[in-house]
Amino acid sequence: MKLNYKRTILVGFAFFLISAFWQAYDAIVPLALTNHFGMPQTISGIIMSVDNILAVFMLPIFGALSDKVMTKFGRRTPFIFIGTIAAVLSFVLLTVVNGIQINALVEEGIIDAYNAASELFNSTSSALKDSLEAGIINETTYNAGIKEAEAVFETAKATLKEDALELTLNNIWPLIGFIGVLLIVLVSMATFRSPAVALMPDVTIKPLRSKGNAIINLMGTAGGIIVLALSSIFGISKNPYMSYTGYVIATCVVMLVGLGVFVATVKEKKWADEMDATSKELGLDEVVEETGDEPKRALDRAEFKSLMLILASVALWYIGYNSITSKYSVYSANVLGVDYGLTLIVAQAAAIVSYIPVGIVASKFGRRKTILAGITMLATAFFIGNFIGAGAKTLVMYPIFILAGIGWATINVNSFPMVVELAKGGEVGKYTGYYYTASMAAQIVAPILSGALYDLFGMRAMFFSFGTVFVVASFVTMFFVKHGDAKPEAQGALESLGGADD
């Protein structure tokens, strides 16, 4: 049995366009809410959690609905096609509505005031640098001058944010329109996320689905990296009051290209029928699971405890990780003053390179130990991030994000298999639901709780500290897990990867 890599890659274009969307969404929506509408971090966090709240309810509904639909294009393809088109149109409309608020900021002189404050900061910094190089002032005076200029600039930005909030409260309709369109965008994405997830198993026989899932994740990562590169090209972190229309249109083009490749090449119904035939031929058909004839055994006390600890670990590290990724665009723009795009690309690249080595390590040392090592790496990266301040060179961020990328890949690759390893009988889908309930619930809590702490104690003080604490907590819960690991594999790495296109 060999995985059809060509087919799996083509199916993966659905994940490619989904990841492209979420990368852009996580980048611009918090920036628009906090800068254009002047929303406090707590309110911004609540709004950012809406997609996860909708997902908890809508993903199971549309997944089950797609199970019951059959067209000449298959079960999942119509949902993917219609959902993507709706998401693209509404995403562009979102920037149009946001443009109304930007125009109001222009009319009130808020953007001109920001540009003046920015120009003053840059000219003061340049003058101080020239004086230092000319020997007119010493380094102590230079540092004091820079610190004073930064304080003046930060005060100006805080005042302008208050002015933006006052403007929003005086005319709430642009915000209402923004949130209304945002809901349409999120519902559109929710209609096809589950069908897209279900498609790979539909066309891949059971023994090859882990390999297939690895390819799907790589395709999703590729989509995210492309949009990260676009964020650097458009410089969305450089000006807090810029329009995001061009960036969103470019992202939507990437999504439509992915959809075009998917629709033109994926023959869902034919491939699903071939999978069914192959499964029957090999004695792998899923009648037992579907009818529930396979006897089910409840978890014993020790296994149940391990399941709860694994799910607690999933929730904790997702809270820590998501608090960083969902607000890093804001932190880098408003606190560090650097372009965040390249650092995240480096983290994604590190994760991609890590997938295969992580699998090899886990097969030799076990999933639990490998995950604990990944947690250690992720916590270390976030802890070091606490010491990076404004004006730091981008190159300083690279080692931190490389370590974070490797750590997250190490955790992510092995955690889901630990959960389903505990599934009894035909309950893999049920345990999959447990896993996603934990991760989605965590992503609901993360931006709200972290946003509240940012407002109370400041984003600079709490950003990396918050992520570090929760990731460390996940180490404690995972340390006491006793079940859900797999026996080390005897086959070599290359053999385990085997397969061809056709």
Instruction: Render pLDDT for 332-366 as a digit per residue (tens, 0 to 9).
Output: 777 777 666 677 778 878 888 887 777 667 767 87
Predicted pLDDT at 266 = 93
- DSSP designation for 208: G
Q: Which of 345, 126, 135 is nearest to 222 (CA)?
A: 345
Report how far apart, in Å, the C-alpha atoms of 97 and of each of 91, 337, 366 are: 10, 27, 51
User: CA–CA separation, 340 vs 332, rounded Å?
Assistant: 6
Alpha-carbon Rg for the chain in angstroms: 24
Closest CA to 201 of 211, 192, 193: 211
| pLDDT score at 335 | 79
Global confidence as pTM? 0.72
Rounded CA gap, 16 and 258, in Å? 7
Q: What is the rounded distance in angstroms from the CA atom of residue 46 to the CA atom of residue 389?
A: 27
pLDDT at residue number 362: 73
**In degrees to the nearest 10, what's the CA dihedral of 442, 8, 232, 337?**
20
Q: Which residue has the higher pLDDT, 140 or 67?
A: 140
Burial class (CB in 10 A: 0-12, 13-18, 19+), 54: middle
* CA 375/CA 402 separation, integer angstroms: 14
- In this prediction, residue 477 carries a pLDDT of 96
Cβ contact 399:449 at 8 Å: no
pLDDT of residue 112: 93
The pLDDT value recorded for residue 501 is: 43
What pLDDT score was predicted for residue 341? 64
Question: What pLDDT was estimated at residue 120?
Answer: 92
Which among 152, 144, 90 is positioned nearest to 120, based on CA atoms?
Answer: 152
pLDDT at 428: 43
pLDDT at position 72 is 84
pLDDT for 9 equals 93
pLDDT in tens, 77-134: 999 999 999 999 999 999 999 999 999 999 999 999 999 999 999 999 999 988 988 8
Q: How confident is the model at residue 327 (pLDDT cuts 50, 70, 90)?
A: confident
Could you tell me which of 252, 233, 309, 360 has the C-alpha nearest to residue 474? 309
Where is 499: in which H helix or E strand? strand 499-500
Look at residue 492 in the predicted model and tell me its pLDDT: 41
Which tokens in the block code for residue 446? 């993360």
The residue among 286 and 418 whose pLDDT is bigger is 418
Residue pair 164/172 in contact by the 8 Å Cβ criterion: no
pLDDT at 187: 94
Q: What confidence category does residue 179 fall into, taking pLDDT thresholds of 50, 70 and 90?
A: very high
Q: Which residues contact 233 (CB under 8 A, 6 or more apart)?
A: none
Residue 342 pLDDT: 73
User: Is the dihedral angle over the CA atoms 140, 143, 144, 145 positive or is it negative?
Assistant: positive
d(C-alpha 328, C-alpha 62), whole Å: 31
Give me the pLDDT at residue 487, please: 46
Q: Tokens in use for 119? A: 């120009």
Q: Can you give the pLDDT at residue 498?
A: 39
Judge whether residue 394 has pLDDT over 90: no
Task: Say what the pLDDT of residue 230 is.
Answer: 93
Q: How many CA atoms lie within 13 A of 124 on its CB side?
A: 18
The CATH label, of 3.30.70.1380, 1.10.600.10, 1.20.1250.20, 1.10.1200.10, for the domain at 299-486 is 1.20.1250.20
SS3 474: helix
pLDDT-derived band at 297, boundaries 50, 70, 90: low
pLDDT category at 185 given cuts 50, 70, 90 is very high
Residue 261 has pLDDT above 50, yes or no: yes
* 159-174 pLDDT, tens digit each: 999 999 999 999 999 9
- State yes or no: pLDDT of 288 exceeds 80: no
| Size (the chain), residues | 502
Sequence ranges of the chain with CATH classification 1.20.1250.20: 299-486
DSSP secondary structure letter of residue 135: T
DSSP state of 92: H
Q: Mean pLDDT of all residues in the chain?
A: 83
Contact 69, 75 (CB under 8 A): yes
pLDDT of amino acid 226: 93
Give the C-alpha distances (Å, rounded to integers) separating 500 from 5, 150, 268, 342, 497. 6, 57, 20, 33, 10
**Phi and psi torsions of 2, nearest 5°:** -130, 140
Min mean pLDDT across 233-247, 281-295, 357-371, 441-455 is at 281-295
More confident residue, 255 or 502: 255
Encoding tokens for residue 307?
């399941």
Contact 297, 424 (CB under 8 A): yes
pLDDT at 27 over 70: yes
CATH architecture of the domain covering 1-282: Up-down Bundle (1.20)
When pLDDT is cut at 50, 70 and 90, the band that residue 426 belongs to is very low
Q: How many CA atoms lie within 13 A of 383 on its CB side?
A: 10
Examine the pLDDT at 497 and tell me if it is beyond 70.
Answer: no
Contact 113, 47 (CB under 8 A): no
Look at the block and give the residue holding tokens 């090899």: 360
Find the farthest-apart pair of alpha carbons in the chain and give their distance in angstroms, rounded: 86
